[in-house]
């Protein structure tokens, strides 16, 4: 078994190699086109188009059988699928335009009516003399085993063509999926781009029919980009990551299905990409649940630290002496701490080396802590003033707003605030004293 797995994964057989090439290219095309489909918020259209392909496949099969031609010719069956897929898309647009039904309902109707019609055609095929519907099963569940070399090459190269086209039109697709109104005003043929993108979607769907199956082909277009979304905020990177996930899913899925032909390849591919999605959902670098939770935790700790440092600094200011330890009672009285909150804050600051306990429950800022406390207090006051001067926030609300935002702002905004405020001219009486740039000692 292991030996076989290795042979399959290393693409030892020519046939496996060709099939894997087809499925991987399909995964890449799905990943790339899917990003734009997802951002255009039309994900379910792909689902409907996939289902709508069934009557096309079955119809083509019937016609070919009736005419006595080879009914298993993939290009001709896919042509049928392409025609009914496009017809289905047209129906949705038409229902949308002519009735008050929502786009969703239009999709549902088109999907079910086309699919039902396809099932009826399958029924007819079973009753026809001289027809064997054996090959059609793979279109519903997806089966790479039935894929012959020419099929895989057709799928692979057509998918490659789609990817190349999307890459050439990257800039145009980005503009149109982000801001259709602006694109139209700028003179781009947005309807043309719309039709183009949707045709590419239909193209990927049709190519995916044999490997992934009608019901699941949508997954090739949706799951990879949805997973890629967790890793980046850049469109180019998202397209790249999505393509990699699609390719990996296709590769692993095709390999597994080559070893266990009873398993529907489509389902295996979807499960593989699905687990990659799950992994991304949790561990994706920019929007994953775990990194976000870690960030939130860090922010909470930082907020606590800032509170205690500022508190100590302001207490020192009040007695014009930063070298005297402040007792815990003073600290507790100077702001509304929860009991645990204050203890935790002190602990955090102590561990960071910003303060030390000089005598029983009284604390003094270390040299490092004093510099940090000065910086924080300064930021905080700048921000308060900014809000007062520029954002028409009533003075009584300033503290709350500032307490939060201060920790989020980086140095770049603080620098901008200083520039826009010309702080030297501010009178000390405005809200608080503004600590001078250098002198920590007063």
Q: Which of residues 377-396 bind other proteins (CB under 8 A)?
A: 390-392
Q: 19 or 35: whose CB is closer to other proteins? A: 35
Rounded CA separation 54/82 (Å): 10
195 is a site residue for other proteins (CB under 8 A): no
Shortest gap between Cβ of 278 and other proteins (angstroms)? 8
H, E, C per residue of the chain: CHHHHHHHHCCCCHHHHHHHHHHHHHHHHHHHHHHHHHHCCCHHHHHHHHHHHHHHHHHHHHHHHHCCCCCCCHHHHHHHHHHHHHHHHHHHHHHHHHCCCCHHHHHHHHHHHHHHHHHHHHHHHHHCCCCCHHHHHHHHHCCCCCCCHHHHHHHHHHHHHHHHHHHHCHHHHHHHHHCHHHHHHCCCCHHHHHHHHHHHHHHHHHHHHHHHCCCCHHHHHHHHHHHHCCCCCCHHHHHHHHHHHHHHHHHHHHHHHHHCCCCCHHHHHHHHHHHHHHHHHHHCCCCCHHHHHHHHHHHHHHHHHHHHHHHHHHHHHHCCCCCCCEEHHHHHHHCCCCHHHHHHHHHHHHHCCCEEEEECCEEEECHHHHHHHHHHHHHHHHHHHHHHHHCCCCHHHHHHHHHHHHHHCCHHHHHHHHHHHCHHHCCCCCCCCCCCCCCCCC
Instruction: Give long-range contacts, CB 8 A cutoff, 24+ apart: 338-344.
Output: 341/304, 342/308, 344/304
190: tokens are: 């947005």
Minimum Å distance from CB 190 to other proteins?
9
User: Minimum distance between the CB of residue 78 and other proteins, rounded to whole angstroms?
Assistant: 15
Q: How far is CA 9 from CA 27, 107, 112, 243, in A?
A: 17, 39, 38, 19
Shortest spacing between CB 309 and other proteins, in angstroms: 26
Binding to other proteins by residue 15, rule CB under 8 A? no
Minimum CB separation of residue 86 from other proteins in Å reads 20
Please compute Rg for the chain using Cα positions.
32
Closest approach, Cβ 183 to other proteins, in A, equals 8
41 binds other proteins (CB under 8 A): yes
For the bound state, the minimum distance from the C-beta of residue 404 to other proteins, rounded and expressed in Å, comes to 14
Q: From the CB of 13, what's the least distance to other proteins, in Å?
A: 24
Q: Which is nearer to other proteins, 28 or 239 (CB)?
A: 239
Query: Applying CB under 8 A, what is the total number of residues that bind other proteins?
Result: 95
Contact call for residue 434 and other proteins (CB under 8 A): no
How far apart are CB 396 and other proteins at their closest, in Å?
19
Answer for which of 7, 174, 301, 432 binds other proteins (CB under 8 A) is 174
CB 113 → other proteins: shortest distance, Å? 7
Q: Binding of other proteins at residue 138 (CB under 8 A)?
A: no
Judged by CB, which is closer to other proteins: 11, or 388? Answer: 388
Among the candidate windows 155-163, 182-190, 203-211, 334-342, which touches other proteins by CB under 8 A? 182-190
Smallest distance from other proteins to CB 45, Å: 8
In the complex with other proteins, which residue's Cβ is closer, 219 or 385?
A: 219
Question: For other proteins, which is the closer residue by CB, 358 or 400?
Answer: 400
Between 121 and 331, whose beta carbon lies closer to other proteins? 121
Taking CB under 8 A as the binding criterion, the range among 36-44, 320-328, 336-344, 355-363 that sits at the site for other proteins is 36-44
Q: Which stretch binds other proteins (CB under 8 A): 168-176, 201-209, 300-308, 374-382?
A: 168-176
440 lies in the site for other proteins, by CB under 8 A:
no
Q: Which residue has the tokens 């990177």?
A: 237
Residues between 216 and 275 that touch other proteins (CB under 8 A): 216, 218-219, 222-223, 226, 229-230, 232-235, 238, 262-264, 266-268, 270-271, 274
74-133 residues near other proteins, rule: CB under 8 A: 76, 99-102, 104-105, 107-109, 111-113, 115-116, 119-120, 122-124, 127-131
- Of residues 289 through 318, those in contact with other proteins by CB under 8 A are 289
State how beta strands 362-365 and 355-359 pair.
antiparallel
> Which lies closer to other proteins via its Cβ, residue 42 or residue 304?
42
- Out of 13, 157, 179, 371, the residue judged to bind other proteins by CB under 8 A: 179
163 lines the binding site for other proteins (CB under 8 A): no
């Amino acid at each position: 078994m292991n030996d076989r797995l290795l042979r399959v994964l290393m693409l030892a057989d020519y046939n496996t190699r060709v099939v894997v090439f087809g499925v991987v290219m399909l995964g890449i095309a799905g990943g790339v086109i899917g990003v734009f489909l997802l951002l255009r918020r039309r994900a379910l259209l792909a689902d409907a188009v996939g289902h709508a392909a069934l009557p096309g496949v079955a119809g083509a099969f019937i016609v070919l059988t009736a005419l006595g031609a080879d009914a298993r010719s993939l290009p001709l069956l896919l042509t049928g699928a392409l025609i009914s897929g496009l017809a289905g898309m047209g129906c949705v647009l038409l229902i949308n335009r002519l009735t008050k039904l929502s786009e969703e309902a239009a999709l549902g109707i088109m999907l079910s009516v086309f699919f039902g019609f396809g099932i009826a055609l399958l029924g007819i095929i079973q009753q026809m003399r001289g027809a064997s519907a054996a090959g059609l099963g793979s279109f519903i569940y997806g089966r790479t085993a039935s894929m012959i070399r020419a099929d895989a090459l057709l799928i692979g190269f057509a998918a490659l063509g789609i990817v190349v086209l999307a890459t050439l039109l990257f800039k145009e697709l980005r503009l149109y999926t982000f801001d259709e109104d602006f694109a139209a005003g700028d003179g781009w043929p947005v309807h043309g781009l719309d039709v183009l993108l949707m045709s590419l979607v239909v193209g990927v769907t049709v190519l995916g029919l044999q490997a992934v199956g009608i019901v699941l082909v949508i997954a090739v277009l949706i799951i990879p980009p949805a997973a890629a979304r967790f890793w980046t905020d850049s469109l180019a990177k998202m397209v790249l990551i999505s393509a990699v996930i699609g390719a990996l899913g296709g590769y692993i899925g095709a390999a597994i299905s080559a070893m266990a032909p009873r398993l529907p390849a489509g389902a295996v591919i979807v499960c593989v990409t699905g687990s990659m999605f799950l992994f991304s959902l949790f561990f994706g670098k920019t929007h994953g649940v775990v990194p976000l939770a870690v960030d939130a935790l860090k922010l909470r700790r930082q907020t606590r630290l800032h509170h205690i440092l500022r508190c100590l600094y302001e207490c020192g200011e009040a007695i014009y002496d930063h070298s005297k330890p402040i007792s815990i009672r003073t600290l507790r009285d100077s702001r509304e701490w929860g009991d645990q909150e204050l203890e935790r804050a002190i602990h955090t600051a102590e561990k960071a080396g910003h303060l030390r306990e000089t005598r029983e429950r009284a604390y003094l800022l270390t040299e490092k802590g004093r510099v940090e406390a000065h910086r924080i207090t300064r930021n905080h006051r700048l921000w308060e003033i900014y809000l007062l001067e520029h954002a028409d926030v009533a003075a009584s609300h300033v503290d709350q707003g500032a307490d939060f935002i201060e920790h989020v702002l980086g140095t770049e905004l603080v620098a901008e605030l200083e520039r826009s405020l010309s702080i030297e001219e501010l009178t000390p009486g405005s809200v608080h004293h503004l600590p001078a740039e250098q002198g920590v000692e007063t």
